[in-house]
Structure 1
Amino acid sequence: MRKENSTNLENEVQINASCGMAYTLDLIGGRWKPTILWRLLNNGSLRYSKLRKSMPNISERILILQLRELENDGLVNRIIYPEVPPRVEYKLTELGLKLEPVLRLLSDWGETNRPTGG
């Protein structure tokens, strides 16, 4: 939990308000968010279980946390189907889909510049 009145939080708010790149990185940054967004971009929508299986090294707790943050930021929709057992799918929102060029550029840059094992 973050302190609401910390200098660090105040600095983050100020930077995000004045720098588009910082704001974007704040929304999509971290270890797992880019991977989640990339999976959803390339698959349209995914059931929770399929998303989880596509990222075997992420813990269930972290995946749920990251999905909630992406949902709260308006980048991902969580769709619950009233079935027994309930089926939950995730897909990018219209705002999330606008990240496609950014995600593709980041992916291309990483593929081109990632060090090769040696």
Structure 2
Amino acid sequence: MREPLDPALFADCDDHTDLPVRVGDKWTAKILVCLRDGPRRFSELQVPLAPVTPKVLTESLRAMERDGLVTRTAYDETPPRVEYELTPLGHSLFQPLAASCTWNATHGAEMARAREEYANRR
């Protein structure tokens, strides 16, 4: 039995939606983190990703499957069970994501100031 995902997994994270380097859509990086330790069901992913609607989570997972980042396995059971798991390609994103996070921690405030200055000039 896997450990359940922590509902507060991303509670201390800064908003990542304005990062200059982003993989996939708004939720892809967080989905990757949720799948880092093994396959998860949709309902498990919803716990730490509570702000995302089921529709958007489904769209994100489909896009990640299309891009070869995750596999979707449907089991012929009652009730139906579907699991999502990172592929080797998906796992390969952790190194560049770590570099992006490091860059943002170092330069994010500077970029935010530049954006504010730009907006004030407009």
TM category (shorter chain) comes to 0.5 to 0.7
C-alpha spacing 1:88/1:112, structure 2 compared with 1 (3 Å): farther
Q: 1:35 corresponds to which residue? A: 30
Percent identity, please.
Answer: 38
Aligned 8 A contact 1:38 1:103 in 2: no
What CA distance in whole angstroms lies between the structure 1 residues aligned with 2:41 and 2:106?
31
Q: 2:46 corresponds to which residue? A: 52
Which secondary structure state, in structure 1, belongs to the residue aligned with residue 79 of structure 2? coil
Alignment RMSD (CA, Å):
2.1
Residue number among 68, 71, 95 corresponding to 2:65 in the alignment: 71
What CA distance in whole angstroms lies between the structure 1 residues aligned with 2:35 and 2:60?
13
Q: 1:80 corresponds to which residue? A: 74
- Quote the offset at 1:109 in angstroms: 4.2
Structure 1's unaligned 5+ residue stretches are 1-23
Structure 2's unaligned 5+ residue stretches are 1-20, 110-122
Deviations 1:51-75, CA, capped at 9 Å, x for gaps: 0112000001000001000000111
Which secondary structure state, in structure 2, belongs to the residue aligned with residue 49 of structure 1? helix
> Scaled by the length of structure 2, what TM-score is found?
0.63
| Structure 1 residue identity aligned to 2:60 | Q
> Scaled by the length of structure 1, what TM-score is found?
0.65
Which secondary structure state, in structure 1, belongs to the residue aligned with residue 73 of structure 2? strand
